[in-house]
């Protein structure tokens, strides 16, 4: 499982803060201060540079001057809140008469600091925002994860599959969906009891963790003995190897008279991404999984490839 946008307590040295000011001295002082707090500053000399950096990298926080040429701090603030709503913004300005505290708060800023800034005040406000951000992530982590297997849950799958398909279409890279469930799970549960059944499901979760790529693939438990993997940036041959590793690892676990049936479908956007592509991909992977069961179980089957329109 990857937990790129729900993992709590990210180490401070990994927290990236974008600082924006057209005054090189202020930019340098901000950078030195933020680095001393244990965070990683990334500098932009103006609003245009900041927007370009935001498109390429992910930031927990933006600290911006208000009075800048071309794109001022208020315009940058509006851009961040519209396009990166999870990124907080602190406004720093010496022109307190131009924009009031309430002006920037109403526009979506998390806080406001006047120049010349006090480092203790700056550190306190950054730490407050980071703590709040991490608390939100913890709550999201709890709501998005299955407590038994520690995989993402079905509700989060419904959200992420749409985002991942849209991103794959927009950036033009391959993506596969693996649907799987445990063969003869009900019989195993009836024979050995629910506690042993839970141990089996936890073993499946651990195997999926081990056989997939951290920070790339997304692994879900849909409920019962049903699981899925969303795996981008991968070829058909590579995803077949992943499927083989999953099946072999489970077979080696020696849960008697059980196995895993996998159905694999490739996302092929036709005429661009459409909402109906999500359900179509799930149905194709699901049908392939049931074909794997019908043809002997404990195997994987690829759904037929859909040819993209030219």
Question: Are the CB atoms for 247 and 297 separated by under 8 Å?
Answer: no
CA dihedral 9, 168, 202, 294 (to 10 degrees): 170
| C-alpha dihedral sign at 133, 137, 139, 143 | positive
Of 255, 267, 264, 307, the closest CA to residue 289 belongs to 264
The helix-helix angle for 236-252 and 194-211 (nearest 10°) equals 140
**Helix or strand (DSSP H, E) at 267:** none
Q: What angle do CA 302, 215, 199 make, to 5 degrees?
A: 70
Active site residue 277: no
Q: Which of 21, 217, 225, 277 is catalytic?
A: 225
Give the integer Cα–Cα distance in Å for 163 and 177: 13
Catalytic residues: 225
């Amino acid at each position: 499982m990857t937990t790129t946008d729900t993992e709590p307590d990210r180490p401070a040295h990994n927290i990236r803060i974008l600082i924006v000011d057209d005054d090189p001295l202020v930019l340098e002082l901000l950078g030195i201060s933020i680095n001393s707090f244990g965070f990683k500053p990334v500098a932009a000399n103006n609003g245009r540079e900041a927007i370009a950096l935001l498109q390429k990298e992910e930031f927990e926080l933006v600290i911006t001057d208000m009075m800048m040429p071309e794109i001022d701090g208020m315009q940058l603030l509006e851009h961040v809140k519209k396009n990166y709503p999870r990124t907080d913004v602190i406004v720093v300005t010496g022109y307190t008469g131009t924009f009031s505290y309430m002006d920037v708060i109403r526009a979506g800023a998390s806080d406001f600091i006047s120049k010349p800034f006090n480092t203790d005040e700056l550190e306190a406000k950054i730490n407050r925002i980071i703590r709040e951000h991490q608390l939100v992530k913890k709550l999201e982590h709890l709501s998005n994860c299955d407590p038994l297997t520690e995989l993402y849950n079905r509700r989060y799958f419904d959200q992420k599959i749409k985002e991942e398909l849209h991103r794959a279409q927009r950036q033009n890279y391959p993506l596969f969906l693996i649907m799987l469930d445990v063969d003869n799970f009900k019989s195993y549960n009836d024979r050995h009891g629910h506690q042993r059944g839970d141990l089996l499901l936890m073993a499946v979760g651990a195997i999926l963790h081990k056989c997939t790529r951290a920070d790339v693939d997304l692994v879900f438990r849909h409920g019962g003995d049903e699981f899925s993997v969303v795996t981008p940036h991968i070829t058909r041959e590579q995803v077949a190897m992943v499927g083989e590793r999953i099946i072999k690892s489970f077979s080696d676990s020696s849960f008697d008279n059980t196995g895993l049936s996998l159905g694999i479908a490739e996302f092929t956007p036709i005429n661009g991404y459409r909402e109906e592509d999500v359900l179509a991909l799930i149905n194709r992977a699901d049908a392939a999984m049931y074909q794997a069961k019908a043809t002997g179980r404990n195997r994987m089957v690829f759904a037929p490839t859909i040819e993209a329109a030219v």
